Structure 1
Amino acid sequence: MACAGLVGCASVAVTDDAITQRTAFALGVDRKDLTISNRVDDGTTSRYQVKTRAGRQYNCFVGGSISVLGRTVSEAICTEVGRDGATRPAVAPANCNALLKSAGKC
């Protein structure tokens, strides 16, 4: 799929640095403690896998585009991959509020 006109593809809009910054913020860890792999750009979305220095693994994504106003990259959304193959939310129960509960994030 080609991206043209005023909207750019995630492959152009989303830099590796943007992915690292937003993922570190979302997970509450230092950037240097993350390993990003298996990035796949699909239209305006970049999906990728993350492993922390502590050994936790996540599936994440960000959205990105380029317009006349410049480059835009969303915040990272991540879900932890469980040891049994199931996924569980990246939000710790102590940080859980009514909105996060209703969204199934904790």
Structure 2
Amino acid sequence: TIVGHPKGAPSKKELEYYNPSIAASTLTDHLIRLEEVGLIEAIERDREGLERGHPYRFFQLTDAARELFDRNNLFEPDAYRELFAEVEKTDEIEAAEGAERPNGRN
């Protein structure tokens, strides 16, 4: 989901939406573990001025993960992005996708 996200850094709300078969607590556990092993990193935007419920924390691949995936030809981002384009989105998810991300890699 992170690889194919249109902005390369989905919020937890988006991750939950795109992975409905995974319980929120399980998703949180996965994110923690992926951070611990250095595959993803959390980036946060300033909360000042944000409306309630708008995302401020996003997850992106680390440089090490990108290098690993590229070296082993594991992910083709365009294939995942096509899947994102086909998913029917709620207004809430469209707003989350449209949220400004902090200066991270896209």
User: Above 0.5 in TM-score?
Assistant: no
Give the TM-score of the pair, scaled to structure 1.
0.31
Larger Rg: 1
Higher helix share: 2
Higher strand share: 1
